[in-house]
């Protein structure tokens, strides 16, 4: 599921398709954060043992990252604006700005060309 063109400041904690309703705040815990080359991945485990979902940000520029060393519950996730030289921007060189905040503290602010939510496969339900 592509979340790149999401509504500005819209809540991205919940997503659904024909098979799944994903609530990243209430039903999933972030168990792994990986940054390699220009891809940032956040892996979330379902709290009821029904598999994983992955948030994948492509062509990333990380503006800020502070992550406590423990499992995390995502508290806020949205596309927003960022400040550069005293001006607010929605986009920079075709990259959108996203904000992720965790209930336990810590946050990630980034620019990326694309953000995808990889839904669990049906056999995990």
Q: Is residue 43 part of a domain?
A: yes
Q: What is the pLDDT along the chain (125 residues), one digit of tens a residue?
A: 999 999 999 999 998 877 788 999 999 999 999 999 999 999 999 988 778 999 999 999 999 999 988 889 999 999 999 888 888 888 888 899 999 999 999 999 999 999 999 977 544 44
Give the pTM.
0.86
Q: Is residue 100 part of a domain?
A: yes
CA atoms within 13 A on the CB side of 102: 21
Domain total of the chain: 1
Q: Is residue 102 part of a domain?
A: yes
**Residue 107: domain span:** 14-120
Q: Is residue 107 part of a domain?
A: yes
Q: Is residue 8 part of a domain?
A: no
Q: Is residue 125 part of a domain?
A: no
């Amino acid at each position: 599921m592509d979340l790149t063109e999401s509504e500005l400041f819209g809540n991205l904690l919940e997503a659904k398709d024909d098979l799944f309703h994903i609530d990243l705040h209430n039903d999933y815990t972030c168990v792994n954060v990986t940054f390699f080359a220009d891809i940032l991945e956040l892996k979330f485990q379902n709290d009821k043992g029904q598999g994983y979902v992955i948030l994948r940000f492509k062509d990333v520029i990380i503006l800020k990252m502070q992550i406590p060393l423990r499992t995390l519950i995502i508290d806020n996730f949205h596309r927003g604006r960022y400040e550069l030289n005293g001006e607010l921007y929605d986009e920079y060189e075709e990259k959108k700005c996203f904000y992720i905040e965790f209930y336990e503290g810590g946050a990630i602010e980034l620019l990326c060309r694309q953000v995808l939510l990889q839904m669990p496969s049906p056999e995990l339900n």
